[in-house]
Structure 1
Amino acid sequence: MLVTLLRHHLRPYRTAVVAVVVLQVVQTLATLYLPSLNARIIDDGVARGDTGEILRLGGVMLAVSLVQVVCAVIAVYFGSKAAMGFGRDVRGRLFGHVQTFSAQELGRFGAPTLITRTTNDVQQVQMVVLLTFTLMIIAPIMLLGGVVMALQEDVGLSGILLFAVPVLAAVIAAIVVRMVPYFRSMQKRIDAINRVLREQIAGVRVVRAFVREERESQRFAAASTDLFDTSLRVGRLMALMFPAVMLVLNVTSVGVLWFGGQRVDSGEMQIGALTAFLSYIAYILMAVMMSTMMFVMFPRAVVSAERIGEVLTTTTSVVPPTAPVAPPTGPDARPGLVELRGVEFRYPGAEQAVLRGVDLVAEPGRTTAIIGSTGSGKTTLVNLVPRLFDVTSGAVLLDGVDVRDLDPDVLWTQIGLVPQKPYLFSGTVRSNLEFGRPGASDDELWHALDVAQARSFVEELPEGLDAPIAQGGTNVSGGQRQRLAIARALVRRPHVYLFDDSFSALDYATDAALRAALVPETRDATVIVVAQRVATIRHADRIVVLEDGEVVGVGTHTELLEQSETYREIVYSQVSAEEAA
């Protein structure tokens, strides 16, 4: 998966990659050439007292060093540009792909791990790309070039490499193999910390209300300790790697000096050649050390790439149509007509269907209410209309067209959804309302707030429409959050309004005023209301009663009181028989 990611997302940076490779090759060749020049200065200049030769070769060394520095700087620039662009593109692709997920895929992964994969996992792969451009291109050239140049200086002394390189490779391989499972475990531990932290921040009021701060601190400490223990194991292995590499390097250097000194003493080797040979041995082992850095990062990057690939290869269960059908137009068209025909829905792996054999028609200009006990499938039914899920069998139709055949953008522009848990984005009152329709005028925004019974508290805010809203709307009350979400849907002016228990946080007076104000605003639209309170839906044109995923009653409030035992039980649990009548 790592290779696939690199091949796909580095394609736009081919020019930069080629430039980095060329510059790194030139830099490495310049580096390998310097010890040879130094040896010539010692043997041809210093030994003979030839000052002119020393100055000439010294000038060449200075020029080569300058080329080396310039190539290194430019290579790092292009390498960083490609690596950072790669990370940006992968994050963008991940974010865009997650946006296509249905609620089913989002629930399967969960928000904490998706956040980790989009941030930490991408960063691990990005770091390997950067190290590849700065170290990994140099390492093999330096290793091979160092061996060639060492053989050129003295073939007999090069036999030491037959001992040093295999031992070094064996030590690194043994350590890296043990690191891989730890890196995989580390990413899971980071997921766990994100999950606990997200829960504690989102549920801070509940934690304080039930005085559970100590318990939550213990949960976070446990998750943090798990990551600490795993990271400590990895750190110990990394701490073992570098001393092992340095031990081999120093033992090899001692061996070169021991045997090289004997060859110099016997006249088989010159001092300059021995100095150059030591430099090439250091280069060879330095190349192995640079490879070690890659070996440390590579296993973690492979794990991260697998986790990224798992998201990117997951296809949404809500697939856009290959040949979208346009909604009907003309005098006979009924925009906003919602029909459910024999709908069944079953969550993946569930033994029983949540909805079974549901037939329902919600017409424009009428309010259709859905009521039932907890777990009866009300929210699931509403989520089928905008295709947050797709039906297992049967069909959901909008304007006579199966929603699976409509272009998703066209479908969503027809619907104004106020979810059971209204969510506001960080920004201002204005920016949240403009989610309904970008570019809406101030008059339209204030009118929507007026209908949603939110004008009074927004006017009291010092900044009015530009008053700040915290992430999730945590700086406003639950009732204010619901009213702002309703106003956001009203700004859109869709053909279908879906209110999923959107009045639960309102007091009875505000609820009644809001419903009365909605009547003229939604006169030509289809309104589907899910509610727990009978008072909210008793005046609906049609009430649908759900029980265990099946429709057990359809009619007006009065008709259902006479015909539906389930509806009577719900009503009498909230009001007396006299009040219900």
Structure 2
Amino acid sequence: MIFLIGRVAGELALPALMADIIDNGILEENIGYIYKTGAVMIIITALASLSAVTCGFFAAKVSAYVAADLREGIFTKVTSFGPYEMGSFGAPSLITRTTGDIQQIQQTTVMFMRMAAFAPLMGVGALLQAIRTNVGLGSVILLSLIAIFGVIAVIFVTTISKFERVQKILDKLNLIIGERLSGNQVVRAFRTEKREEKRFGRVNDEYRSINLFISRAMSTMMPILFFIMEVTTLAVVWVGSKFVISGSLKVGQIPAFIQYTTLVIMSFVFLTVIFILVPRAMVSMKRIGQVLETETIIEDNSSDAESRDLSEAIQASGRGSNKPALEFRAVDFTYPKASGKALSNISFSIKPGETVAIIGSTGSGKTSIINLIPRFYDPSSGDIFVNGTNIKEMSLYKLREEISLVPQSSSLFSGSIRENLTLGQKDKKSESDINKALRAAMAKDFVDERENKAESTISQGGSDLSGGQRQRLSIARALLKNSRILLLDDCFSALDFNTDKKLRHAIKENYRDKAVLLVGQRISGIMDADKILVLEEGKIVGSGTHSELLESCRVYKEIAISQLDLGEEEKSEEI
């Protein structure tokens, strides 16, 4: 604030000193007075410039911290989102809010801190100095200000509604670009390049037209404001010359008054720039606020201390116990905003060392069961227990410590293979632990073939690996995590039958203490499970071993026969 006041005082002092030089130095032919006053002007200018630089430095620093805090806040909030919240916004919109919207706020913060206090102080101070110099000339400035306010009001009203529209269209552009990049092979395979180009072109044209409208409005405003300033200057010279002739105004006061006029008008120009940026920043802040204020449908009620004690109690009670590691009790589930139930009256349990498989047609609810266990969603009714404790009584962090999940689509990150394998691991894993997980997942051979083995770098999404390699690394990552429950959601789909069989056998032999819930589509991949659950339209229609279900469950038998016909099992005797 001290630097700001110093800058304003310096800027306001210069026109008066200029008038002094003209009236008492040049007209009086007093060279010494000119040098003396000129030196004072140079010192004041240097101090004002230093103050301006200091104010700019602090404004830039504060805006950078504001942007960093907002980015961190959004990122932290998004990491707490479940599938429902992610779907409500969409990844492209969240990216835009985290980058473009925050950048807009950062730019506005810089300008606001530099000009919001400086411009009014400068404008009011210059106006008072001008009126003090000559009241008659002060009325000229007041008339020009009325014209400036009129121009600003018209521009403001015509453009404010466009700012939010621009950000929404930018979201749509990012969505189309993201879909085009991720679905590049599909687009080429179905020869829809032209269709995608037209789709992008329509949105891009709309984005261009709105930006063009805003740019034209802004580019029209500034020349009008400078035109008003030039007319005001001419009016000051014309009216001021009459006051000089009448003797009520000194010659040096006319250039001083022109400088005051310029300072007043430029102050309002700066305020205009702020008025332009603020609505856009308000739109961006509103969009960011929507993310930060979003309440997740999953409530994490336990405190860290409570959940730590609870987790230790769970682990202690689970060791050497024959109680179920995982249990569903009469669970019903309906997706948010959906009309029908995805799951109905689901009840089953898995003991440590036991493998339970789930099979059913597409849309029968297999993945829905998996999603309920780590609380991506909560059941509509019924309860789920992990080691005898209701999962709603556990913190999300501690609950998910008890679970290793391999989803349908493999998610790998840019970095080394080791970094991907040890993702989220609390304790440092030894080389033997990593090798054990890689061998069990049938991934050791292709990892060792790479030049730097586990230290080899893979690209984002594992795009430089085959589908089967990505799945095996995802399985190895889940095995390396020291959890009691292993969830495998149809994650063997890219593996051949031989690798699939070896992998399941290796998991059973090397990780005997884990409770495994396996979702599969192929009979050959689940027939060795201790228990098989058959789902149809969200209900369990069969439960038992492979041989029992062939005798008792029509749905299971139909699946087995259809797959046998497709040659998915080598020997019909196995069924």
| Band the TM-score falls in, shorter-chain normalisation | over 0.9
Q: 1:254 Cα shift?
A: 1.4
Q: Which residue of structure 1 aligns with residue 2 of structure 2? A: 22
Q: 1:436 Cα shift?
A: 5.2
Residue 402 in structure 1 maps to residue 393 in structure 2: no
Out of 163, 166, 172, which is 2:146 matched to?
166
The 3-state SS of whatever aligns with 2:135 is coil
Q: 1:220 Cα shift?
A: 2.4
User: Could you tell me how far apart the structure 1 residues matched to 2:332 and 2:274 are?
Assistant: 53
The 3-state SS of whatever aligns with 1:295 is helix
Q: Answer whether contact 1:334 1:399 (CA < 8 A) is retained.
A: no
Q: Which residue of structure 2 aligns with residue 573 of structure 1? A: 562
Q: Which residue of structure 2 aligns with residue 279 of structure 1? A: 259
User: Could you tell me how far apart the structure 1 residues matched to 2:320 and 2:517 are?
Assistant: 22
The 3-state SS of whatever aligns with 2:296 is coil
Q: How does 1:34-53 map to 2 (within 5 A)?
A: 34-53=14-33
Q: Answer whether contact 2:159 2:214 (CA < 8 A) is retained.
A: yes
Q: Which residue of structure 2 aligns with residue 378 of structure 1? A: 366
Aligned letter for 1:54?
Answer: I
Out of 84, 92, 104, which is 1:112 matched to?
92
Out of 347, 360, 365, which is 2:348 matched to?
360
User: Could you tell me how far apart the structure 2 residues matched to 1:149 and 1:392 are?
Assistant: 71
Aligned letter for 2:476?
Answer: A
User: Could you tell me how far apart the structure 2 residues matched to 1:213 and 1:531 are?
Assistant: 35
Q: Answer whether contact 1:365 1:526 (CA < 8 A) is retained.
A: yes
Q: 1:507 Cα shift?
A: 0.6
Aligned letter for 2:468?
Answer: G
> Displaced runs of 4+ in structure 1, greater than 3 A?
322-325, 330-336, 576-580
Q: 1:300 Cα shift?
A: 0.7
Q: 1:333 Cα shift?
A: 4.3
Q: 1:133 Cα shift?
A: 1.8
User: Could you tell me how far apart the structure 2 residues matched to 1:479 and 1:86 are?
Assistant: 44
Deviations 1:445-497 (A, max 9, x none): 22211110111111111221122211111111111100000000011131000
- Over aligned residue pairs, what C-alpha RMSD do you find? 1.5
Q: 1:163 Cα shift?
A: 1.2
Aligned letter for 2:285?
Answer: A
Q: Answer whether contact 2:324 2:349 (CA < 8 A) is retained.
A: no
Residue 207 in structure 1 maps to residue 207 in structure 2: no
Q: Which residue of structure 1 aligns with residue 271 of structure 2? A: 291
Q: 1:579 Cα shift?
A: 4.5
Q: How does 1:472-551 map to 2 (within 5 A)?
A: 472-551=461-540
Q: 1:135 Cα shift?
A: 2.0
Q: 1:378 Cα shift?
A: 0.6
Q: Answer whether contact 1:139 1:291 (CA < 8 A) is retained.
A: yes
Q: 1:210 Cα shift?
A: 2.3
Q: Answer whether contact 1:336 1:496 (CA < 8 A) is retained.
A: no
Q: 1:136 Cα shift?
A: 2.0
User: Could you tell me how far apart the structure 2 residues matched to 1:261 and 1:74 are?
Assistant: 40
Deviations 1:205-232 (A, max 9, x none): 2222223233222322222222111111
Out of 454, 477, 489, which is 1:465 matched to?
454
Q: Answer whether contact 2:323 2:388 (CA < 8 A) is retained.
A: no
Q: Which residue of structure 2 aligns with residue 554 of structure 1? A: 543
Aligned letter for 1:257?
Answer: V
Q: Answer whether contact 1:546 1:553 (CA < 8 A) is retained.
A: yes
Deviations 1:247-300 (A, max 9, x none): 211111111111111111221111111111110110000001111111221111
Q: 1:335 Cα shift?
A: 7.7
Residue 446 in structure 1 maps to residue 435 in structure 2: yes
Q: 1:37 Cα shift?
A: 0.7
Deviations 1:8-54 (A, max 9, x none): xxxxxxxxxxxxx3312211121111001111111111111122221
Residue 55 in structure 1 maps to residue 35 in structure 2: yes
Q: Normalising by the residue count of structure 1, what TM-score does the alignment of the two structures yield?
A: 0.94
Q: Which residue of structure 2 aligns with residue 141 of structure 1? A: 121
Deviations 1:409-432 (A, max 9, x none): 211111110001110001111110
Q: 1:392 Cα shift?
A: 1.6
Q: Which residue of structure 2 aligns with residue 419 of structure 1? A: 407
Q: How does 1:212-223 map to 2 (within 5 A)?
A: 212-223=192-203
Q: Answer whether contact 1:333 1:399 (CA < 8 A) is retained.
A: no
Residue 314 in structure 1 maps to residue 302 in structure 2: no
Aligned letter for 1:356?
Answer: S
Q: 1:240 Cα shift?
A: 1.1
The 3-state SS of whatever aligns with 1:271 is coil
Q: Which residue of structure 2 aligns with residue 18 of structure 1? A: none
Q: 1:137 Cα shift?
A: 2.1
Q: 1:439 Cα shift?
A: 2.4
User: Could you tell me how far apart the structure 2 residues matched to 1:154 and 1:231 are?
Assistant: 44
User: Could you tell me how far apart the structure 2 residues matched to 1:423 and 1:317 are?
Assistant: 24
The 3-state SS of whatever aligns with 1:523 is coil
The 3-state SS of whatever aligns with 1:214 is helix
Q: Which residue of structure 2 aligns with residue 8 of structure 1? A: none
Aligned letter for 1:301?
Answer: A
Aligned letter for 1:350?
Answer: A
Identity of aligned residues (%): 38
Q: How does 1:172-321 map to 2 (within 5 A)?
A: 172-321=152-301
Deviations 1:192-216 (A, max 9, x none): 1111111111112222222323322
Out of 333, 336, 339, which is 1:345 matched to?
333
Q: Answer whether contact 1:369 1:540 (CA < 8 A) is retained.
A: yes
User: Could you tell me how far apart the structure 2 residues matched to 1:333 and 1:54 are?
Assistant: 98
Q: 1:553 Cα shift?
A: 1.0
Range that drifts further, 128-137 or 275-284? 128-137
User: Could you tell me how far apart the structure 2 residues matched to 1:28 and 1:456 are?
Assistant: 72
Q: 1:362 Cα shift?
A: 1.5
Q: 1:161 Cα shift?
A: 2.2
Aligned letter for 1:457?
Answer: F
User: Could you tell me how far apart the structure 1 residues matched to 2:259 and 2:14 are?
Assistant: 9
Q: Answer whether contact 2:333 2:343 (CA < 8 A) is retained.
A: yes
Deviations 1:42-81 (A, max 9, x none): 1111111122221221111111111111111111111111
Report the count of equivalent residues.
561
Q: Which residue of structure 2 aligns with residue 5 of structure 1? A: none
Q: 1:122 Cα shift?
A: 0.6
Deviations 1:363-408 (A, max 9, x none): 1111000111101111011011111111121111101111111022
Range that drifts further, 279-288 or 50-59? 50-59
Q: Answer whether contact 1:80 1:130 (CA < 8 A) is retained.
A: yes
User: Could you tell me how far apart the structure 1 residues matched to 2:510 and 2:204 are?
Assistant: 52
The 3-state SS of whatever aligns with 1:180 is helix
Aligned letter for 1:574?
Answer: Q
Q: 1:498 Cα shift?
A: 0.2
Aligned letter for 1:543?
Answer: I
Q: 1:84 Cα shift?
A: 0.6
Out of 366, 369, 375, which is 1:387 matched to?
375
User: Could you tell me how far apart the structure 1 residues matched to 2:207 and 2:322 are?
Assistant: 58
User: Could you tell me how far apart the structure 2 residues matched to 1:288 and 1:380 are?
Assistant: 59
Range that drifts further, 286-295 or 435-444? 435-444
Summarize the Cα distance change of 1:31–1:578 in structure 2 as closer, same or farther, 3 Å threshold: same
